[in-house]
């Protein structure tokens, strides 16, 4: 895609070649100038880049945000939490799901391997997970939990130059790898959302013969299957996040390129098929990184907008009939919202990064306005 990219605005990422793929090594998503899906990232923790890549809430008084650190909302303030010791590598977490005060999941990357962590109400601990045979690299990008005995995590595996989808499932006792389709020579899953044991969506991007398309897969209670989705961009299409409300209501958000700019992409599921929704684009370069919904008439999407120099936050809201941009604050001149979680129509959280070097950014919706909240760094 042209210009700035999904999940990577103003972070000053460098890129290196790994098995023929460009790999961003200085941020959570794609380096500037890269097309989503044409490369995947190796996020890292450093003293100069601090970002929140995912957020989830089980109630108005219990929320988690993760990225290069773990922070918790207890109903009064956000506090930094201690993560588990991971040995020689430093974990960066790109997905989080909150089931209850004593039950939360976080997924991400530690060195070249996917990692899963669990919160039991007292501490975070690393969980055993299947390691795909022959894979030189694996990463989990997102996690969604229906209950204490039903959760999904999605991402990628890499063997040589082959990049494949990765889906793992928690059955209440252990994590197990699931069979997942790969519709193209390179396929990647970036987001997942489940509304029941028989309804889950995973979204991302696939690329074959230099043609990049959106990727949507569905779980029907028995198996994962690729679903027909829209790819309106002439120069790349990617979906970064999903929100499942019911069997007849789901959302997927991302971006697409059309030569002179990047546009926000919102697709909706009505029970029969996916369709592209009209969405706002306040600048030449736009992208939506996260989506969340509490009902058929209340959904949020967050991301960024840029004219090429710096970036600002973008928040859009679905009111049951249209998507419209809602004013959102900025902490600096290089701000990007990477994820959103909605508790109700009067309470939602959005997280990301602000400034250069990046610092954590947390914003809260109180039913009337979005306001920046104090966040640990």
Q: Which residue has the tokens 């309106």?
A: 232
Q: What is the pLDDT of residue 48?
A: 66
Q: Compare 57 and 18 and report the one with higher pLDDT.
A: 57
Question: Domain 15-373: which CATH class?
Answer: mainly beta
How many angstroms separate the CA atoms of 165 and 361, rounded? 30
Task: Write out pLDDT tens, residues 211-246.
Answer: 899 999 999 999 999 999 999 999 899 999 999 999
Task: Write out pLDDT tens, residues 105-122.
Answer: 999 999 999 999 999 999
Strands 113-119 and 103-110: antiparallel
How many angstroms separate the CA atoms of 366 and 349, rounded? 9
Interior CA angle at 193 toward 59 and 234, to 5°? 130
Residues, the chain: 377
- Is the per-residue pLDDT at 175 higher than 50? yes
How many angstroms separate the CA atoms of 229 and 214, rounded? 7
Strands 359-365 and 78-81: unpaired
Q: Which residues pair with 322 in a beta bridge?
A: none
Task: Write out pLDDT tens, residues 297-355.
Answer: 999 999 999 987 889 999 999 999 999 999 999 999 999 999 999 999 999 999 999 99
Average pLDDT over residues 131-140: 86
All structural domains of the chain with their residue ranges = 15-373
Contact 268, 277 (CB under 8 A): yes
The sign one gets for the Cα dihedral 50, 204, 273, 213 is: positive
């Amino acid at each position: 895609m042209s210009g700035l990219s999904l999940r990577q605005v103003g972070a000053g990422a460098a890129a290196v070649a790994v098995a023929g793929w460009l790999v961003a090594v200085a941020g959570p998503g794609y380096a500037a100038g890269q097309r989503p899906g044409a490369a995947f990232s190796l996020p890292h923790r450093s003293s100069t880049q601090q970002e929140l890549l995912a957020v989830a809430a089980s109630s108005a008084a219990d929320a988690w945000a993760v990225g290069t650190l773990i922070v918790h909302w207890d109903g009064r303030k956000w506090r930094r939490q201690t993560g588990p010791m991971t040995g020689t590598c430093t974990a960066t977490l790109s997905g989080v799901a909150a089931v209850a005060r004593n039950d939360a999941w976080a997924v991400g990357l530690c060195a070249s391997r996917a990692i899963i962590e669990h919160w039991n109400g007292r501490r975070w601990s690393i969980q055993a997970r299947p390691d795909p045979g022959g894979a030189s690299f694996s990463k989990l990008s997102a996690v969604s939990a229906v209950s204490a005995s039903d959760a999904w995590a999605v991402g990628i595996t890499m063997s040589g130059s082959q990049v494949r989808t990765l889906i793992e499932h928690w059955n209440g006792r252990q994590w197990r790898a699931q069979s997942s389709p790969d519709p193209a020579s390179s396929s990647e899953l970036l987001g997942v959302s489940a509304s029941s044991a028989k309804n889950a969506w995973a979204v991302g991007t696939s690329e074959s013969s230099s043609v990049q398309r959106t990727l949507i897969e569905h779980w029907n209670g028995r198996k994962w299957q690729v679903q027909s989705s829209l790819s309106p961009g002439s120069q790349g299409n990617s979906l970064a996040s999903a929100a499942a409300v019911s069997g007849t209501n789901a959302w997927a958000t991302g971006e697409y390129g059309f030569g002179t700019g990047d546009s926000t992409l919102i697709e909706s599921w009505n029970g029969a098929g996916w369709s592209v929704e009209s969405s706002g684009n306040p600048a030449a370069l736009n992208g939506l990184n996260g989506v969340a919904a509490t009902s058929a008439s209340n959904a949020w999407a967050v991301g960024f907008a840029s004219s090429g120099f710096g970036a600002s936050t973008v928040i859009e809201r679905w009111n049951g009939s249209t998507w419209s941009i809602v004013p959102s604050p900025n902490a600096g001149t290089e701000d990007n919202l990477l994820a959103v979680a909605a508790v109700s129509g009067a309470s939602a959280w959005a997280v990301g990064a602000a400034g250069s070097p990046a610092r954590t950014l947390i914003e809260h919706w109180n039913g009337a306005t979005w306001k920046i909240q104090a966040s640990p760094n």
